[in-house]
Amino acid sequence: MRSFKDNVLRGLLWLAALLTIAILVTIVGYIFYKGIGLISFDFIFGDYSPTGGGGIWPMIVTTIYTIVISLVIATPIGILAAVYLQEYAKQGRLVRMIRFATESLTGIPSIIYGLFGAVFFVTTLKLGMSIIAASLTLTIIILPVIIRTTEESLKTVPRSYREGSLALGNTKLQTLYKVILPSAMPGILAGIILSIGRIVGESAAIFLTAGTVAALPESIFSSARTLTVHSYLVTQEAGDIELAAAIGIVLIVIILILNLLATLLSKILNKADY
């Protein structure tokens, strides 16, 4: 009797795993199957055309803009915040409060970030629907990611490094930028890569803060659309599944490359531990 129950359970485990794999393979497979026919040099690097058949270059440029701007702002702030939490702060109420805030930010759905960005950056700061408004919103979204991963990698820097440096007469600050940050670098980079993934995948927050203009942005104050928003809009507006899937392929390839980079970096990090 027991072995019968065992076999049923074992069967269910296999079934669930096969189902998961089948579903995920189907989705990725479907997107590649539908979209691959559109992928070409002209598609990636061509200008958008309102009458159809154009490329996605303006959306790629917009996506790169949002990535660069939000990273330029969020990375230094995130790293310094992590340094404060790990190296400077006395564990107490203040640190608990900061940690709580950082964790809460992680849990907020992106549509709420979008609402906030729309009222704060777009309207109150009068930035208008623009790349800069979207990037500032994204900055807040990725800040917790960078803080957390930097903290994790700071934890792995051996105490002996710090002590050695301090013993040599370096100040805390010198120790920080000469010894600690360099050895934590792979972990920090992994955090940055994760953030890029988050930015690339984001849709709702950007939709409400950057608008949907399908043209090459003139400046960071232009309204524009990113790849993900474009793939949403062509599905929604034109029902053009093939185009959406082709953009999907580009997005999946970007995510894949980012993941490989992150894995590579974490391997370097693990080696540095020895």
Partner 1 sequence: MARPPVEKANKRKYMLEKLSGRVFLFCALLSVISLLLIIGFVFFKGINPFVAEGYSFINFLFGDDWVPSEDQFGIFPMIVASIYATIGALIIGVPIGLFTAIFLAEIAPKKVAKIISPAVQLLAGIPSVLYGVFGLAVIVPFLQNNLGLAKGQSLIAVILVLAIMMLPTVVTVSETAIRAVPKSYREGSLALGVSHIGTIFRVVVPAAKSGILTAVVLGMGRAIGETMAVILVAGNSLIVPTSLTDSVRPLTTNIALEMGYAAGVHQEMLFATGIVLFSFILILNFVLAKISAKGGN
Partner 2 sequence: MLKKFKTFGLVVIPLTILLSACTPSNDSESSNGGNYTLAISGSTSVGPLAEKLAAKYEENADINIEINQIGSSAGITNATNGVSEIGMASRDLKEEEIANGLTDQIIAYDGIVVVAHPSNKVDDLTIEQVKQIFTGEVTNWKELGGEDMEIVVVSREDGSGSRDAFQEIVGYSSGELIRNSIVASGNGNIKTTVATNKHAVGFISFEYIDESISPIKINGVEAKAENVLNGTYKLSRPFLFVYKDENLSEKGQQFIDFILSSEGQKVALESGVIPIK
Q: Tell me the C-alpha distance between 172 and 49, whole Å.
A: 56
Tell me how far the alpha carbon of residue 140 is from its chain's centroid.
Answer: 12
- Under rule CB under 8 A, how many of the chain's residues touch partner 1? 86
Q: Which of 184, 193, 189, 177 is nearest to 154 (CA)?
A: 184
- Would you count residue 98 as binding partner 2 (CB under 8 A)? no
List 98, 213, 261, 272, residue binding partner 2 (CB under 8 A) = 213
User: Which residue's CB is nearer to partner 1, number 54 or number 201?
Assistant: 201
Q: Which of these ranges, 39-47, 49-57, 137-145, 158-166, lies near partner 1 under the rule CB under 8 A?
A: 137-145
- Would you count residue 264 as binding partner 1 (CB under 8 A)? no
Whether the Cβ atoms of residue 132 and residue 217 lie closer than 8 Å to each other: no
- Would you count residue 15 as binding partner 1 (CB under 8 A)? yes
- Would you count residue 32 as binding partner 1 (CB under 8 A)? no
User: Which residue's CB is nearer to partner 2, number 129 or number 190?
Assistant: 129
Q: Which of 200, 204, 209 is nearest to 236 (CA)?
A: 204
Rg of the chain over Cα atoms, rounded to whole angstroms, equals: 23
How many other CB atoms sit within 10 Å of the CB of residue 39?
16
Residues in 105-134 that interact with partner 2 by CB under 8 A: 128-129, 132
Token pair 């939490």 is found at 85
Whether the Cβ atoms of residue 208 and residue 114 lie closer than 8 Å to each other: yes
By a kind-dependent CB cut-off of 5 to 8 A, residue 161 interacts, out of partner 2, partner 1, none, with none
List 35, 117, 144, 211, residue binding partner 2 (CB under 8 A) = 211
Tokens, residue 174: 């010198």
By a kind-dependent CB cut-off of 5 to 8 A, residue 259 interacts, out of partner 2, partner 1, none, with partner 1
Q: Under the rule (CB under 8 A), what is the footprint of partner 2?
A: 50-51, 128-129, 132, 211-213, 215, 218-223, 236-239
